[in-house]
Every structure is written in structure tokens, then in C-alpha cells.
Structure 1
Amino acid sequence: MPPEIPLLGGTANRGRVHRVGDTVRRPQRRSTPAVHALLRHLEDVGFDGAPRVLGVDDDGREVLSYIPGRAVTAPAPAWGLTDAALRSVGRLLRRFHDAVAGFDTRPHAWSAAVPEPFAEGGVTHNDPNLDNVVFRGGHAVALIDFDLAAPGDPVWDVAGTARLWAPLRDPVDTSDGRRRRELDRLRILVDAYDLDDAGRSRLAAAAAGHHEWMCALVGDGARNGVPGFAEYWTPGARARADRTRAWLERESGAITAALT
């Protein structure tokens, strides 16, 4: 067997995801059967922007296809923060939502439910962090890490992506060229995705909801001793989360105005 090469990125599975040849080995979760059903659907409909399910290895890990390319891992490279890269993320996310439109989520047990009023309307990836998008030639080509996928409204995913990529947060917590371009980049993403007017009117609320939802997941994981979450959820991280919460509330009207 080829050597196991640790892959960077991730929080919940930090240090537990490895590349072995042209495969990726990852720990299974309670939601793994649901995620595998989703990935097989994506393969069946010809969507090439997600890993393929290859089985389970002798150590009980899921085996997925390895997608060549680079993710935007810290410290973020300049090419991953360009407007062109952002547009490609919006187009990839739209292709994903179109591809899952016919997937029946009802027979499956998912990891974490999306809250109302964003719990229905399709399937959402739910964790479109910078290190969960694979790029080639500066353009997004695939989504990875579907552990948090669940039934949800596509605008929830668009808002979560905007929150992380624009990024929608207090500029004091952005130290790169995206600083104070939050709303400009929000518009770039939303236009590339081609979000409809109804989605644009709900995006500010979805972004605030996605922030609270993710903070709750990470906080619960930290309190339950998940190493990656416990390492991340420091007093500094909680303070940044509080600043983001206040910024999203304060800028809610400006976010909506930027999209009309």
C-alpha cells in the first residue's frame, strides 16, 4: 500500500484524514451512510465536483476518491482570495445545488439539522469553508468534506459561503486584501451564483443564522472534548464570534441593500 500522507485543513477530523495513493481515508460518522448516498447521487447525475465513494478500508475508514488540486488552507494564498476565485466558488455551489435537486433526503439520518426557516428546499453542504473547496488553476472545481451535509434551503449555503469567503464579519478580523470589501465581494458571489430576488432578501438572516448554528456546533464539540474544536474554540475565537454576531446585526440592512 502507498504511504499515508496527512491532509491539511479541517477541525473535527484534524490529523485523521489521509491520502493513500489516489484515495482519501476518513473516519466514519453516524451520518456516513447518508453522505455516501448523496455522493453516489452526484456521481449518477454526472456532477464532477465531489469525491466518489469507493468503500471502507480494513481500518473501518471511508474510502473516497482523491481530487487533485489545492485547497485554500492557512495561511491563505493570494490566488485563493481573488475575485475570480470567488466567482468560481459561486458557480460551483450553484452547480452542486442544481445537481442535488432531485435527491430524496427523507430515508437518511443526517449529522446536524439546519434550523427553520431554512431547513427545506434542497440539500446543503453546510460547511463551505475555504479549506473545503478544491481549486485548479485558480478556479474552484470541487467541494469536499460533506460531513455536515443535510436537507436545507440553498440560500443557507450561499449565506454560509458569503460569511466565510467575502467575508461577512467585522473588518478588524480580516487582515488581507478582502478587508472592507465585504459587501462588494458578497455581490460578486451572489451574482456568480445567480441567486434569485427571494434569496437575496433572505440572505442577511441566513448569514446570521448560519453563524449562530456553526458557533453552536463548534462550542458543543469543544465542550464534548473533540480535540480540533477544543483547540479552536479559545477565548479569542469566542471574542471574534461575538464581533461577527454584532457586525451581522449592525450591517443587516446594508447587506440586503447591496443585493438589490
Structure 2
Amino acid sequence: MREVTGTAGTADEVPLVGGTANRGQVVRVGDTVRRPRRDTTAATHALLRHLADVGFTGAPRVLGVDGRGREVLSYVPGTAVTPPYPAWALTDDALVSVAHLLRDYHRAVSTFDPAGHVWPPHPPSPFSGELVTHNDVNLDNVVFRDGRAAALIDFDLASPGSRVWDVAGAARLWAPLRPDRHIGDARRGRALGRFRLFADAYGLTAADREQVVTAVLHNHDWSYDIVGTAAAGGHAAFSDYWANGAMVRARETRQWYVENGDALRRALT
């Protein structure tokens, strides 16, 4: 892996907000981003290089490592959606643009061979193995320009999954699919309609619509298992997140999925 020369000092580093796993460890240095490397970094870099090779512009480029052993990626210009969420990021137009970006990513990654790489934990069967999915299309992992979703960032959880899995995860977070008492913005009361809008904008097939509601529940469980496991292992940021209401919200949201499965399915027909 190429070493990037001119390692920046602390004075040159601007912390980037958003995210939990690497909180306080991701910085911007000029037109680059420096991040901690992981056991699966080589796989992520192979994925990002493929995206660059096929002309997909909606992801960072791999530049190498710096003198402190951090991965160096290109800085993606634009605005990531971090709290307090701006009103423009919660509009239907913004939602549609996220669906289009995810569809374009899936097209670009469909020719990538994940074999031979060590990946983070895969989504569960039957939602794994079709293509390498992002697996964390959270609001702060989408970069907007001029009000439209332009790029995905933070591919740390990317691993072989399926289109319907990524759609379920993105819709779960962006609609959002959760009880109204846990939605404190303009999206409140519109979860089902926005779920349908996301599926339509992505172009989800009739067959995939049969699976996506089940995928939403499994995606919720899979995601919060990652959070709970990290918190139990002593990860400070995840422990804070878990203790400050996430555990309760996760339990109540899961029950909402169980009770509203038929309503979620009807919303897509």
C-alpha cells in the first residue's frame, strides 16, 4: 500500500463529526481523510478501487496510508447529514435522491468479486452473497451536494449482502421506520408513505417487495446486535449510545415491526 508523504500534525487536522465506531478518530487533512485501519481494511480498499475503476463517483478514493498507519482517503466535498438534522435533508426529494444513489452504487458494485477478501460479518441468510452492500446507509454516511445525495462514505461495515438488504436498512433509517413517538421532526406520521416512496424510487421489484419487510426486521436486529456487542465489549461511544436510550428505542421499534408487518407490506403494494 502506498504511503502518503507529508504526514500532518495535530494542528492541521480537523475532526469530522458523525459516526460512532470511530468517534474522534476521523480527521480531515486538506483534501484527504485519515481514519484508523481495521482487519478488514484491505477488503474495503479493494471495493473502493473497483468503484473508482468503473467510474462510480459516489464514494471516496483510496490514496494510501500515512506515517501514523492510518488509511488515507479522498475527502468527499459536500454536507453529511448530522444532528440537528436540517429540514432539507428530511424532504421527499432528499429521500428519493438517496434511493437513486443506492441504486447506482448497486449497479457499480455488481461486477465486483468479493472472493479472497476478509470482510466484516455478513448479513444473515437469505440476505447475503448477492453483492457487496454498504450495510450502514445512515444519515451521516450520505454526502449531499445542492440538496441531492451525491456520495456514500464510511464503508467499514460493507460485506457481501443483497440489494433488498441495503434497501431495507436505508429505508429503515431514512423513512424512518419506527414508532411516531421516536420521530421528532417533519417525517412524523409519514413513515409508511416514505417507505413506499423509497422503494419506488429505487425501483424495487415485486419479488423484492415481498422480502423487504422481513429484511427490515432482520436488518434492525443485525444492526443493534453490532451496537450491543460493541457496548458490552467496552467500546465507549457505543456504550454511551446504548445507555442513553438506544436500548429502549431498539426494543420498542422491534415490537413496532412485529405489530405493523401487514401495514408495511400493504404500503408497498
Please give the TM-score of this superposition, normalised by the length of structure 2. 0.95
Distance 1:235 1:73, change over 3 A: closer
Local SS of the residue matching 2:149? strand
Would you say 1:96 and 2:105 are equivalent positions?
yes
Of 193, 214, 219 in structure 1, the residue corresponding to residue 223 of structure 2 is 214
Residue 12 of structure 1 contacts residue 227 of structure 1 at CA under 8 Å; is this kept in 2? no
Gaps in structure 2 of 5+ consecutive residues: 1-7
TM-fit CA distance, 1:181? 0.2
Matches of 2:177 and 2:60 in 1, distance apart?
A: 28
Q: 2:268 maps to what in 1?
A: 259
Q: 1:241 maps to what in 2?
A: 250
Which of 49-58 and 192-201 deviates more? 192-201
Gaps in structure 1 of 5+ consecutive residues: none
RMSD: 0.9
Of 123, 135, 138 in structure 1, the residue corresponding to residue 144 of structure 2 is 135
Of 123, 127, 134 in structure 2, the residue corresponding to residue 125 of structure 1 is 134
Amino acid at match of 1:159: A
Which of 225-234 and 162-171 deviates more? 225-234
- Residue by residue, what CA displacement relative to the aligned partner does 1:7-37 show, whole Å, maximum 9, x if unpaired? 0100000000000000000000111000000
Matches within 5 A, 1:17-166: 17-166=26-175
Which of 45-54 and 117-126 deviates more? 117-126
TM-fit CA distance, 1:246? 0.5
Residue 121 of structure 1 contacts residue 151 of structure 1 at CA under 8 Å; is this kept in 2? yes
- Residue by residue, what CA displacement relative to the aligned partner does 1:166-191 show, whole Å, maximum 9, x if unpaired? 00011110010101100110111111
Local SS of the residue matching 1:233? helix
Of 2, 9, 12 in structure 2, the residue corresponding to residue 3 of structure 1 is 12
Matches of 2:244 and 2:58 in 1, distance apart?
A: 36
Local SS of the residue matching 2:143? strand
Matches of 2:122 and 2:44 in 1, distance apart?
A: 14
Amino acid at match of 2:139: L
Matches of 2:12 and 2:201 in 1, distance apart?
A: 40
Q: 2:3 maps to what in 1?
A: none
Matches of 1:64 and 1:58 in 2, distance apart?
A: 14
- Residue by residue, what CA displacement relative to the aligned partner does 1:148-207 show, whole Å, maximum 9, x if unpaired? 000011100000001000000111100101011001101111111101111111111000
Matches of 1:134 and 1:235 in 2, distance apart?
A: 26
TM-fit CA distance, 1:235? 5.7
Matches of 1:10 and 1:29 in 2, distance apart?
A: 16
Matches of 2:106 and 2:244 in 1, distance apart?
A: 36
TM-fit CA distance, 1:62? 0.3
Matches of 1:193 and 1:17 in 2, distance apart?
A: 31
- Residue by residue, what CA displacement relative to the aligned partner does 1:110-160 show, whole Å, maximum 9, x if unpaired? 011111110121111000000000001110000000000000111000000
Amino acid at match of 1:148: L
Runs of 4+ deviating beyond 6 Å: none
Distance 1:72 1:233, change over 3 A: same
Which of 11-20 and 221-230 deviates more? 221-230
Which of 185-194 and 88-97 deviates more? 185-194
Matches of 1:70 and 1:244 in 2, distance apart?
A: 28
Matches of 2:208 and 2:118 in 1, distance apart?
A: 27
Residue 156 of structure 1 contacts residue 206 of structure 1 at CA under 8 Å; is this kept in 2? yes
Distance 1:165 1:247, change over 3 A: same
Matches of 1:94 and 1:126 in 2, distance apart?
A: 14
Aligned pairs, how many?
260
